[in-house]
Amino acid sequence: MTTNWQVCSLIVQARSGDFAAICAQLRQIAGCEVALTDAASGQIILVIEAKQHLLLVQHIESVRNVAGVLAVSLVYHQQDQQGEETP
């Protein structure tokens, strides 16, 4: 059985005044990890994992729709298939 694996990292620019609430909302998105934050500049680095690329795109759109998020930039994306190959 082969499984598909997707991972990406994003830089999120957020409003500084709502920073803690924005980070809390981002942590609620499935597969989303807040890796680094800088409240002074309003920047957040996220890592998102999903089993399908469509789910990954949906999670990225969820990040964009969080109130107080000003910009989202994709920095890295990787996909991989893992598992045993059957003849």
Q: How far is CA 67 from the centre of its chain?
A: 15
Answer whether residue 5 shows pLDDT above 90. Answer: no
- CATH number, domain containing residue 58: 3.30.70.920
Count of domains observed in the chain = 1
The number of residues in the chain equals 87
pLDDT tens-place string over residues 29-71: 999 999 999 999 999 999 999 998 899 999 999 999 999 999 9
Residue 59 lies in a domain: yes
Residue 4 lies in a domain: no
Q: Are 64 and 10 in contact (CB under 8 A)?
A: no
Residue 83 lies in a domain: no
Model pTM score? 0.84
**String of DSSP letters for the chain:** -EEEEEEEEEEEEE-GGGHHHHHHHHHTSTTEEEEEEETTTTEEEEEEEESSHHHHHHHHHHHHTSTTEEEEEEEEEEEEEEE----
Domain coverage including residue 37: 12-78
Residue 20 lies in a domain: yes
